[in-house]
Amino acid sequence: MPKLETEIAGIKMKNPVMVASGTFGFGKEYAEYIDLNKLGAIVTKSITLKPREGNPPPRLVETPAGMLNSIGLENPGIEGFLAEELHFLAKFDTPIIVNIAGESIEEYAELAKILSREPTVKGLEINISCPNVKKGGMSFGMDPKLTAEVIAQVRKSALSLPIIAKLTPNVTDITVIAKAAVEAGADALSAINTILGMAIDIETGKSRLGTLTGGLSGPAIKPIALRMVYEISHTVNVPVIGIGGIVSGQDAYEFILAGAKAVQVGTANFIDVEAPLKIIKELEAYLNKDLPG
């Protein structure tokens, strides 16, 4: 299917549909139900240097047309990831992109250095947009100077590995951050991470999450994501990966029309394990113009 094949910063993919970080774990649970070889790429849950337990529960709340999460970067740490997870992902003929997060610029750089030695890893997604941690995360991606510093250091440490900066929507003008990331050496951008939100329990008068706030995802955020992907892709000259509430081939195609070269499917994975595969098929029909639009 020549129309579906694509390439992002040298990462060759069978199709432009990737699975989004944090919605697909490290692939094991999904591999029991779907053929991971059919995916464009797999982006892992964010990895930090040290293992993290994440935030106190409850950490998920359903909202109209979406959900809030306050996971707080739960992950096994880089050693746990390399020892327990990466070898499983290496079995598939699908590019593996590791999402990395840190509390300091040095932490990002160290992770990039370690992962650049792993032949299974085809790219890094730099998470400068997690809304659920006190240190690091989104605070880097809300500031163009810090964005540039993180990306520049990762660029040096990752050697020839492609790097994708994952941007936060929680800013006034996302194009300012996009430009800073690209000027500092990002090969591609992915957007958007979740939108800072809140849900209140009217019985207790308190937040329905263990932390006060969380990140909103799902169809509720699609129009915002689409607008931001349009703005970014009309500002910078690197490939943009569209993320935000994609649940159908039509949604994916809208992101492509907005300027994205590829897309990531996130929250839809929690609704239907086959969502990414269905989206690939439906998108193929749009790209081959079998359908109107």
Name the residue nearer to ligand RRO (CB basis): 132 or 207: 132
| 3-state SS track over the chain | CCCCCEEECCEEECCCEEECCCCCCCCHHHHCCCCHHHCCEEECCCECCCCECCCCCCCEEEECCEEEECCCCCECHHHHHHHHHHHHHCCCCCCEEEEECCCCHHHHHHHHHHHCCCCCEEEEEEECCCCCCCCCCHHHHCCHHHHHHHHHHHHHHCCCCCEEEECCCCCCCHHHHHHHHHHCCCCEEEECCCEEECCEECCCCEECCCCCCEEEECHHHHHHHHHHHHHHHCCCCCCEEEECCCCCHHHHHHHHHHCCCEEEECCHHHHCCCHHHHHHHHHHHHHCCCCCC
Q: Which residues bind ligand RRO (CB under 6 A)?
A: 22, 46, 69-73, 101, 127, 129-132, 193-194, 215
Name the residue nearer to ligand RRO (CB basis): 6 or 70: 70
Out of 13, 18, 86, 130, the active site residue is 130
In the bound state, the residue with its beta carbon closest to ligand RRO is 215
Name the residue nearer to ligand RRO (CB basis): 228 or 283: 228
Q: Nearest distance from residue 126's CB to ligand RRO, in Å? A: 11
Q: Nearest distance from residue 119's CB to ligand RRO, in Å? A: 25
Q: Nearest distance from residue 74's CB to ligand RRO, in Å? A: 6
Name the residue nearer to ligand RRO (CB basis): 64 or 119: 64
Name the residue nearer to ligand RRO (CB basis): 157 or 194: 194
Q: Nearest distance from residue 225's CB to ligand RRO, in Å? A: 13
Angstrom distance (rounded) from CA 272 to CA 277: 10
Q: Is 130 a catalytic residue?
A: yes
Q: Nearest distance from residue 133's CB to ligand RRO, in Å? A: 7
Give the catalytic positions in this structure.
130
